[in-house]
Amino acid sequence: MFRILKRVSLNPTVTRLDVEAPLIAKKALAGQFVILRANERGERIPLTVAGCDKETGAVTVIFQVVGATTMELNKIKEGDFIPDFVGPLGTPTEVDGLKKVAVVGGGVGCAIALPVARRLHSLGCSVTSIVGFRNRDLVILEEEFRAASESFFLVTDDGSYGETGNVCMPLTRLLESGERFDEVITIGPLVMMKFVAKATKPYGIKTVASMNPIMIDGTGMCGCCRVTVGGEMKFACVDGPDFDAHLIDFDEAMKRSKTYAEFEARAREEHCNLFRKEVK
């Protein structure tokens, strides 16, 4: 059993949990993930490690409340326990030798991008962070990004905070002005990462995308997390989650991400109905 040390609501739909898992806290690196269950009968879901404290043994995960499982996870309070918390899994983000990097995050994907920016910053790399959200109410981790970045840009779709637009706008502006990066690392919605890759390709800048497809076991055995990269099948849980963004078949990935949309919607509705009955 794994104890919840801290619970914080970052915005109306995003929650941060600090989980007591000292063995994982000692080993996890930026880019890796854990698989957990909210309760004994719950499904397994992957969540990227958003931070670790080796002294307290705390591992931070940040999730968006979108389905039945994350709704259940969001009910958990400080001091409660979850039955499973397995990791670290996946291959850490490669950061060695990088001197100048742009980290581009979107929505809750910023929770995954932040530890990468922090790791790069700690190694002396010049970090430009570009983060995007739908509106002001959904902004998370702004101050944390500013502390880990030499340059910081925040955009919102509706212009309610920061610049108006999407993350490709400041990125393209920088590239057009002559700014160059050793690498661009992008983490967020598939469609966002697809267009970040399109923006960097004409400049020949290596671009890495963190993929988060459907996943079950996290060991490469179930095959659910397969993605096509450069015409070859890869498994995000063991070969990734980071891949060359210019080689990823994003259209296929977006199509596969909707495979269980109907089932997920039904499970979410059933969970909401059950919650209403419990409240009554």
Interval 225-261: pLDDT, tens: 889 999 999 998 888 899 999 999 999 998 887 766 6
Separation between Cα atoms, residue 278 and residue 256, nearest integer Å: 34
Counting Cβ atoms within 10 Å, is residue 275 exposed (0-12), middle (13-18) or buried (19+)?
Answer: middle
Judge contact between 181 and 202, C-beta under 8 A.
Answer: no
Separation between Cα atoms, residue 98 and residue 94, nearest integer Å: 9
Query: What's the pLDDT band for 66 if we cut at 50, 70, 90?
Result: confident
pTM for the full model?
0.86
Residue 43 pLDDT more than 80? yes
Judge contact between 85 and 31, C-beta under 8 A.
Answer: no
Separation between Cα atoms, residue 214 and residue 222, nearest integer Å: 10
For 103-123, how does the pLDDT look when each residue is reduced to its tens digit (9 = 90+)? 999 999 999 899 999 999 999
